[in-house]
Amino acid sequence: MPDPLVSTPPAPSPYLAEPLPNLAAWKQYFLDAEIPVLAATSQGLEQLRANEDEVNPGMLAELIENDPFMMIKVLAYVASKRRNNDGTATETITSSLVMMGVAPFFRNFGLQPTVENHLAQQPAALAGVMALIKRAERAAHFATGFAVHRLDTDVEVIRQAAFLHDFSELLMWCYAPTMELEIHAMQRSNPTLRSAALQRFIFNMDLNDLRQELMKEWHFPELLIRISDGKHVDHPIVLNVLLAVRLARHTENGWDNAALPDDFEDISKLLNAPTRVVRGFVYKIDQARQ
């Protein structure tokens, strides 16, 4: 029986209360972290595990591709098993699962911890995660529509890049929720404040830089890393992703954002179509998703 006079040290908090000093420190922190997944993903994987002999890579991919957390875990794991001189880097979740195999997947991915449990004491942060994933789904949908219109041959990788574009912010919601909430409170009080500037002020680094650094450390497919790099907007395939992400962000709360005219103009240049046609096109894409 424990001595009531001896206090038990409190369990360490799963959240960071203060920012880390720089990009390198943040990168190492997330390389060491156990990333949780959505509860629906964890439960779905356990249901499939119970009937493993009946499961194929497509069934796993259908579940995993709805969860950015699980997607990065699978891509990172497959990359870690790939030989350095292997030039056949897999680009998508489906091809990654085909290469890995169903039985090895279940051997290497046990019961997954969940975001919902991790953020049980942070309901506002959990709401932030869910809202950001919803926005990522719309970005992926817009990116797919643009890529199909452009007859691009890398549609699936473009969709994946758009969906994963903000995964570093998702990680912040999970591990630095009070800091993320502070950023959003500052933006509500002054909507003219730029997200990137606030992130640098609060986190001591840029979340886009964190995304690229983690993708490189996890040895993600080169094409996915290149498409995700917003510093190369001269490439149409990169612009496809960035404009889709921008449009999803600016229409998150409706279609009256003051930045939309500029978005439509830039999208019209990408798609080589009149602005009025583009406006109708993106409305149609969004309606088709619902």
The domains found in the chain, sorted by start residue, are 39-108 (no CATH), 122-289 (1.10.3210.10)
Q: How far apart are CA 39 and CA 69, in angstroms?
A: 11
pLDDT at 11 over 60: no
Note the pLDDT tens digit of each residue in 163-207: 999 999 999 999 999 999 999 999 889 888 888 899 999 999 999
Could you tell me which residue, 92 or 69, shows the higher pLDDT? 69
> Residue 15 in contact with residue 178, Cβ under 8 Å?
yes
**pLDDT attached to residue 135:** 97
| pLDDT-derived band at 86, boundaries 50, 70, 90 | low
Q: CA torsion sign, 218 to 221 to 227 to 231?
A: positive
**pLDDT attached to residue 10:** 44
Note the pLDDT tens digit of each residue in 108-128: 999 999 999 999 999 999 999
Mean pLDDT, the chain, whole residue set:
91
Q: How far apart are CA 90 and CA 270, in angstroms?
A: 27
Q: How far apart are CA 75 and CA 14, in angstroms?
A: 24
Phi then psi for residue 155, to 5 deg, are -60, -45
